Structure 1
Amino acid sequence: MKALAINIDEITIKPITSQADFEEAGKVIEALMDADLLENETERKKALDILEAITVLAIDYEKKHYPMPKPDPIEAIKERMEQLHLSRKDVAPYFGGENRVSEVLNKKRSLTIKMIREISKNLGIPAETLLAAS
């Protein structure tokens, strides 16, 4: 295996507090992505430790500055139904009938706590995701 494109002894692990720091961390992460292929065990371990530390810092920065929007509960239900190849009739028991399924999925009726429990349990959608719709 060829050597890393970066000298691991010159890498400084520090908090990521700016966009420039974040971009630099991305370059380091990219340079260390193949560190697990290094033949020298000591160098491999050091590179992988640095990779893990910088990745944790980058993820923390990303969560603070680029938060993921919460999913729309109704879209989450529709997507899960599609993934599981379920029809409205298939999920009707979780909603209290086929009419309720249509009303909820068309956003004409809110989810009830009972529906949320059933949908969460049977479709595997976290209740926190579904609670935003009630």
Structure 2
Amino acid sequence: MDVRPIRTERDYRAMLATVSRLIDMDPDPNSPEGERLEVLGLLVESYEGKRYAIAAPSPIQAIKFRMEQGGMTVADMRPYIGPPNRVYEVLNGTRPLSLAMIRRLRTLGISAEVLIGNLGATHG
């Protein structure tokens, strides 16, 4: 199997073309083509992770996104953050999230890593 690292955008495009051809073949995972597809897929994934990394959202962005996705209002956030004035303070970045808020917000499916990421930061 002739495998080389992806170092340039040109290498990346060529690798994607090869991976695409292999996917179209739908090889058995244990066949030489299937193993090649797995290895090349890992190389592509690694390159994309380094080259096209997406920064995690701020805690405030994550909360606002979850509210939007769930059709939630400020009033709906009471169980997670507290009374409306506190919700507005958090969403405006004038009040940091407390550990208790973070624990409750996790139940909405927002990762602790995102919520804790900038613990104490007041900008969103």
Please state if 1:102 is matched with 2:111.
no
Gaps of 5+ in 2: none
Gap runs ≥5 in structure 1: 1-10
Q: Secondary structure at the match of 1:16?
A: coil
How high is the TM-score relative to the length of structure 1?
Answer: 0.76
Partner of 2:113: 128
Partner amino acid, structure 2, of 1:35? M
Q: Percent identity?
A: 38
Q: Given residue 52 of structure 1, which amino acid in structure 2 is its aligned partner?
A: E
Q: Does residue 57 of structure 1 match 2:43?
A: yes
Q: Say how many residue pairs are matched.
A: 119
Deviation at 1:133, TM superposition (A): 4.7
TM-score normalised by length of structure 2: 0.82
Deviation at 1:19, TM superposition (A): 2.6
Q: Which residue of 2 is the match for residue 117 of structure 1?
A: 103
Q: Which has the larger radius of gyration?
A: 1
* Letter of the structure 1 residue corresponding to residue 54 of structure 2: M
RMSD: 2.1
Higher helix share: 1
In 1, Cα distance between equivalents of 2:58 and 2:19: 32
Runs of 4+ in 1 over 4 A off after TM superposition: none
d(CA) in 2 for partners of 1:72, 1:86: 19
User: What is the aligned partner in structure 1 of residue 12 from structure 2?
Assistant: 22
